[in-house]
Structure 1
Amino acid sequence: MNSALSPTKRERRKEARPGELLDAALALFVEKGFAATRVEEVAARAGVSKGTLFLYFPSKEELFKAVVRETIAGRFGEWNDELDAFQGDSAELLRYTMNAWWERIGMTAASGITKLVMSEAGTFPEIASFYQHEVIDPGRALLKRVLQRGIDRGDFRPMDLDSAVYSLIAPMIFLLMWKHSMAPCCPPADRLDPQAFLGTQVGLLLDGMRVRP
């Protein structure tokens, strides 16, 4: 009976293939870039044939989109739910948002996707447009919600939210670009502590640099 009810090894393998392909694709996209990554390499790293890859993803572009949705874009629902449930003050929420982003994206292989998109946007505008729609726009909307919550509660002064969100995005992008460019070349003494950097950035945004009377 247990044998009849349990999925066969082949069935389990088939169910795992999309995830294995996405993992292989993410690693190669970050390592080599979009243009230089070939679907044959992705299939080989995942241990399947190119034909099997195309059963799940009809093109390299669709494979890339699936990687972005799986690792970044698909998390915005989760983050918005956390914002709705957050009980602390707005400064705490801002710190939590920045640190959660680093822990869930910045510390993972998905952190290399931003550098890829920025590097290859001119060659592949459709990839850039997709990333704008799936990641940048929802990210800006989420950060605007964080800031608007602070304004509504009287924690933050009124501000131009469309411009202010970039003050939060800029240090995130810097960390990603640094991680995937200069960080591997830096001697240990010069390496940046991402959490300390984000903490300093949030402190500067909340308090400024002037000494208060």
Structure 2
Amino acid sequence: MRESRPDTAAPAKRSRRKEARPAELLEAALALFVEKGYAATRVEEVAASAGVSKGTLFLYFPSKEELFKAVVRENAGRKLADAQREAAEHTGPTQDLVREYICRWWTEYGGTPAAGLTKLIISEAANFPDLALYYQSEVVQPAHDLLKHIVQRGVARGEFREVDPVLAAHLIVAPLVQLVTWRYSLAPCCPPEQLPDPLALLRLHADVVVRGLSVGAPGDGAAAPQPAAAPPAQPKP
């Protein structure tokens, strides 16, 4: 009779499951927050969606507010930190940095389920000002600071004309916020043929931004080329 071996697969499976729980809870919370809003989402629903008990959820996140903050950090704050690091390491033209930031914003945030956080905060900020302030400090302000520094980099290198970098950051961000707000409000009601391709739209936005900021753009103070002088009139015979 063969001696039975202890089952080592089950503990390993349980260990992997335990390590995966925070990520599964954050994924479930993001989906429910975006679908139902912060106020209407109950922690019991999040736990059930992730396949755990409410008590297990509270082992990782002591409150719904802390759960929401963790969702923001994971889906927006961490990606912004990556963007800040990559911008600091960028050695090429600032124009390329602007284009890359705007397009990557869509592929890593605007075109993902996490973009629903933007609409959620806009709609619930008045009822949950503490969460709105957290989102402002964790997402909005770092994004504006990054864009401000990118514009300042371009000015310092002589690539961009002298502009207010704070206002420039607001102008760059505004169409991005409008795009995700529209995506989660009116877009589902529009016929498909009326929906623009988001990346094509953002590439055009990036092109307009870069052309407007670049030295030699209208209004930068550079001398505009003068039209060729008309030849002198010939005396009539």
TM-score by length of 1: 0.93
Counterpart in 2 of 1:165? 169
- Unmatched 5+ stretches in structure 1: none
Matched, 1:29 2:52: no
- Unmatched 5+ stretches in structure 2: 219-223, 226-237
Q: Which has the higher helix share?
A: 1
Counterpart in 1 of 2:84? 80
2: CA distance, partners of 1:191 / 1:137: 30
3-state secondary structure, aligned to 2:40: coil
Say which of 96, 100, 104 aligns to 1:100: 104
3-state secondary structure, aligned to 1:72: helix
Matched, 1:156 2:155: no
| Residues 106-132 of structure 1 deviation map (CA, whole Å, 9 limit, x = unaligned) | 111101001000100000000001001
Label 1:39 to 1:94 Cα distance change in 2 as closer, same or farther (>3 A). Answer: same
| Residues 98-152 of structure 1 deviation map (CA, whole Å, 9 limit, x = unaligned) | 0011110011110100100010000000000100111111111111111111101
Deviation at 1:6, TM superposition (A): 9.3
2: CA distance, partners of 1:51 / 1:5: 26
Counterpart in 2 of 1:146? 150
Counterpart in 1 of 2:228? none
Return 133-142 or 78-87, whichever deviates more: 78-87
Counterpart in 2 of 1:197? 201
3-state secondary structure, aligned to 2:114: helix
- The aligned amino acid for 1:76 is L
Say which of 71, 74, 80 aligns to 1:70: 74
Percent of residue pairs bearing the same amino acid type: 53
3-state secondary structure, aligned to 1:8: helix
| Residues 30-79 of structure 1 deviation map (CA, whole Å, 9 limit, x = unaligned) | 11110111111101100111111111111111000000001110122211
Matched, 1:39 2:40: no
Figure out how many residues of one structure are paired with residues of the other and give that number: 212
3-state secondary structure, aligned to 2:143: helix
1: CA distance, partners of 2:72 / 2:133: 13
2: CA distance, partners of 1:43 / 1:58: 13
3-state secondary structure, aligned to 2:159: coil
Query: Is the contact made by 2:149 and 2:165 (CA closer than 8 Å) also made in structure 1?
Result: no
2: CA distance, partners of 1:14 / 1:207: 51
1: CA distance, partners of 2:20 / 2:208: 45
2: CA distance, partners of 1:69 / 1:109: 14
Say which of 44, 57, 62 aligns to 1:58: 62
Counterpart in 1 of 2:233? none
| Residues 71-101 of structure 1 deviation map (CA, whole Å, 9 limit, x = unaligned) | 1101222112211222321111111010011
Say which of 18, 35, 52 aligns to 2:22: 18
2: CA distance, partners of 1:88 / 1:181: 38
Deviation at 1:12, TM superposition (A): 1.4
Say which of 130, 134, 139 aligns to 1:130: 134
1: CA distance, partners of 2:114 / 2:57: 20
3-state secondary structure, aligned to 1:156: coil
Root mean square deviation of aligned Cα: 2.1
Counterpart in 2 of 1:183? 187
